[in-house]
Amino acid sequence: MKRIFDEVQLSFLIVGHTHEDIDSAFSTISRKLRAIDAETVSDLISIIENFEMLKCVFDVKSWMSPNLNELSGISKPLHFKITGASVLVESFYKGQSNDVWIKLDKNILIEVPRGKPEFILPDFTKIDHEKNLRQIQAMKNFFSRQESYLVYLLISTVILEITKDKFLWKEQPG
């Protein structure tokens, strides 16, 4: 197997302090929405600069889970480090960024996952379609354009049909 990295660090934000770079992008969108109505997804896309459609999502959790060791004795780490410059792979953790790295008794990974993660297919089974339709109908008079209301009715109908016929989603993006 080809080695790509000698060291990988994962850092997590403190609960309640989850300000990230993406927040500034959301702030820009929020300012635009104060001046421009976006009643449909198409309307929203039209105001987002450099919009890029997400074509698929990978199920990394299922792919990684069989290869993860059960870890204990770590209550609230914010940072993990996995090093493997040589044959030996070691795992470390710490709380704050200025804390000293503490070596884990065992590695996070039992072994490197093989192959590729599968695609996650949409699952609409938890949607209450009748409730969704009632909410859309209750909001009918709030739309400034009739076509916006019709778009939501159409989306709701398509999701209901997809939920009934799971074979529509047998094709995975490629």
At residue 51, the 3 state secondary structure works out as coil
* Cβ-contact 59, 76 below 8 angstroms: no
What torsion, rounded to 10 degrees, do the Cα atoms 38, 44, 50, 51 define?
-170
The answer on pLDDT for 106 being more than 90 is no
Span 63-75, average pLDDT: 80
pTM: 0.57
pLDDT on residue 73: 65
At residue 10, the 3 state secondary structure works out as strand
Residue range 34-48, pLDDT digits in tens: 999 899 989 999 988
Grade residue 108 by pLDDT with cuts at 50, 70 and 90: confident
